[in-house]
Amino acid sequence: MDNSVLFYIMGGSAGIFVVILLIYFALKQRMGKSEYKRIQRLQEGTKSSSFSMEILYQKLYMTYLKIPGLKRYILKLRRRLEIIDIEDEYKTRRDAAKILSRTLLVVIPVAVLTIVIAHSNHLLLGTLLLFELFMIDTFIDGMVDKIDNNLLKEQIEFFSEIRHAYHEFNMVEEAIYQVSQDDEKNVSKQGEKIYEVLISDDPETELEKYYDIAPNSYLKEFAGVSYLTKEFGDRKVDGASLYLKNVNNITQEMQLEILKRDKLDYVFQSLAVISIVPVLFLEPLKNWSVSNFDFTSNFYLGKGGMIVQILLMILTFLSYILVKTIKDNGSTQVSTKNTENPWQAKLYKVTIAKKIIDLFIPKKGTKEYRKTKDLLKDSASKLKMEWLYINKLVLSLATIVISIVVFGYLHQTAIDYQYTNPTTDYDLIGGLSEKDKKKAEDLTKLDNVFLDRFRGKHNTTIDQIKVAMQYSPYYNDVEEEEINTAAERVYKKLQIVNSENLKWFELLLSFTFGIVAYMAPTWILIFQYKIRQLEMEDEVMQFQTIILMLMRIERVNVEIILEWLERYSKIFHEPISKCVNNYEAGAWEALEELKNEVSYQDFIRIVESLQAAVEKIPIKDAFDELDSERDYYKEKRKESNERLIARKGMIGKLIGFAPMVCLFVGYLIIPLVFIGLTSMTSSMASLS
């Protein structure tokens, strides 16, 4: 290993140790203040003398809140966890601090390693550190998803115990209360909340409030079925309790969902990280290639290699975003952003900005406006029309500015290469010896003297360079042929240095990239819509299960079924919501409009059955085939999930491994082969 690398590793380790010591002394000093002393006096006799991780996580939570960079992540974690750890502030803080601490234990060493590997390439270093911010999101999402998956598995056992308790008490609320006494489980807190809803003075209102904070749709279904059973009573269907049959249906849905998530997690295991890892190998591959094949230095250390690096970084960024979008396994996703007053809304309130943005937003009533509005709905985006166009304009402007800066950086890279590359008059398949390298570096320094003298003078000729060399102290007593060779070499370098400036077509390319960036948010919405289409069949089958639970409960009508479908729908939420709003004006007409707005055939059959139940036949007769063919639909659901996972897996692997393939093919193999063949051809021609 190179001594400089060892030096950086040791320096980084020492730096981390110093930071830990500073944090320790800062916490110690903080704890010595009067407020902490007062708390300690209050705690005397109530706390154990041994070290407690619980207390440590509580202190870390408060510390993270005071650190600007980490405050965002701890609040994001809190918003997701406080729904799972319902009304348990202590546990929410503990879990948030635990997850963020574990994430930092992984990310900080990776950051140190990144600095050691890419310290000489500032562009790559900045990009890698930016990617590590995305890695924090990946780890956090993974750990929260794991908690949510554990909650689902607890619900399986919870519902099983509900069955036994219901047989004993024959009362819904008492059965839920009895099973919810286990304080160690997250699902017990949800059970206690549902119990409080059922015994409240206004259970219907409280139930609507619970729907807003329930961590998953299965607890919503359970709470709704429990409420309907308590209000309208239970009944026997085929000699069994209808309530318990519905609980069993929900359990089967959860079992299918757990299997689906486990398979998705297995298929997408580490794909997000794999899509990022290739960027870490850019600098090592470049150093290896240049040290072993000297003829490749012109590519890797010059403008061409930098362009390929930038393209690989962009590809990696896109791959990471798309893999995360595809992987979405259906777990509870709570918006952690300020959706009421985000930065877009604040910017839109500025008068000048509003006037500029309004110029780009299509006019209401136009085809473009309706098309964009429908796309926002179909992709389930939380963005408003104004916010979308703010994103488009800001991203476009940022891309133009960054592109111009990058073009300037590329020109500077090409100039620096001419000033720093060891000068030889031949190509080598291999590296230079120490003696030859020293000689080449000295020759480069000598050339730089004349480059500095004539740099910026575009009308310089070879003869002028020769005259300057002849009268310089560096070329005394040197033959004219050697001066001619040196002058030609410097002239070639000078032509490159003087030509490396921002050109008109690069400005044109920057604006072209800006147009592409302007369209990117729309393309992302289209991609999200296409991914959602893959899950249409799964959502319709969930609708069938909901109808199967409701259709035999007395006093349940078509409007109640539509309200339930609206509550649990994602892909078909907008048309169902519109149908519910128009239902009072005319049930048949509202359902007919719903049928015309969707194109998925299985969902259209459900709507037609609802139309039949409005005027002609009872609900249980309209959906009788759901009960009689329950086993068939269950097997079909399994097969549908298998196909969905296979499709997502194929797309995810294709996108996730794209940066790795492009790294080895586009950054290593093709340059080595192409430059090697060109250099060999040139060398053979020189020998001839």
| pLDDT (0 to 100) of residue 334 | 42
Where is average pLDDT lowest: 276-280, 562-566, 656-660?
A: 276-280
Tell me the per-residue pLDDT of 233-251, one tens digit each, with 9 for 90 and over.
Answer: 888 877 788 888 888 888 8
> What is the Cα–Cα distance from 578 to 463, expressed in whole angstroms?
82
Highest mean pLDDT among 28-42, 44-58, 63-77: 63-77
Amino acid 357 reads I
Residue 549 has pLDDT above 80, yes or no: yes
**Residue 589: helix, strand or coil by DSSP?**
helix
Q: Name the pLDDT band for 518 (thresholds 50, 70, 90).
A: very high
* Intra-chain end-to-end CA distance of the chain, in Å: 41
Supply angle C-alpha 581, 586, 587, rounded to 5: 80
Predicted confidence band of residue 401 (pLDDT cuts 50, 70, 90): very high
| Amino acid identity at 68 | P
What is the DSSP annotation of 619-670? HHHHTHHHHHTHHHHHHHHHHHHHHHHHHHHHHHHHHHTHHHHHHHIIIIIH
Classify each residue of 137-170 as buried b or exposed e, where b means 16 or more C-beta atoms within 10 Å of its C-beta: ebbbbbbbbebbbebbebbeebbebbbebbeeee
Q: What is the spatial distance between Cα 575 and Cα 676, in angstroms, rounded to a whole number?
A: 61
User: Residue 102: how many CA atoms within 13 Å on its side-chain side?
Assistant: 14
Question: Higher pLDDT residue, 357 or 272?
Answer: 357
- The pLDDT score that the predictor gives to residue 624 is 77
658 pLDDT exceeds 50?
A: yes
Cα–Cα distances (Å) from 327 to 261, 411, 534, 649, in that order, read: 10, 40, 12, 8
From 262, 273, 326, select the one nearest 106 (Cα to Cα). 273
Mean pLDDT of the chain: 79
Q: Cα(81)–Cα(98) distance, rounded to whole angstroms?
A: 12
pLDDT band at 628 (very low <50, low <70, confident <90, very high): low
What pLDDT, in 10s, does the model give residues 304-363? 888 888 888 888 888 888 888 787 654 434 444 444 557 788 888 888 888 888 888 888
How far apart are alpha carbons 529 and 640 in whole angstroms?
A: 19
Greater confidence, 187 or 128? Answer: 187
For the chain, the domains span 421-499, 534-656
pLDDT of residue 1: 45
Query: What does the H/E/C string look like for 1-42?
Result: CCHHHHHHHHHHHHHHHHHHHHHHHHHHHHHCCHHHHHHHHH
Q: How confident is the model at residue 13 (pLDDT cuts 50, 70, 90)?
A: low
pTM: 0.69
Q: What is the pLDDT of residue 8?
A: 58
Q: Is the pLDDT of residue 397 over 90?
A: yes
pLDDT: is 456 or 248 the higher one?
248
Structure tokens at 279: 């960027």
Q: 508: pLDDT confidence band, cut at 50, 70 and 90?
A: very high
What does the pLDDT look like over 142-164, one tens digit per residue?
Answer: 788 888 888 888 889 988 899 88
- Provide the pLDDT for residue 400: 92
Instruction: Report the C-alpha gap between 456 and 494 in whole angstroms.
Output: 9
Contacts of 627 (CB under 8 A, 6+ apart): 548, 551, 620
Q: Which residue has the tokens 């002028």?
A: 464
| pLDDT reported for residue 515 | 92
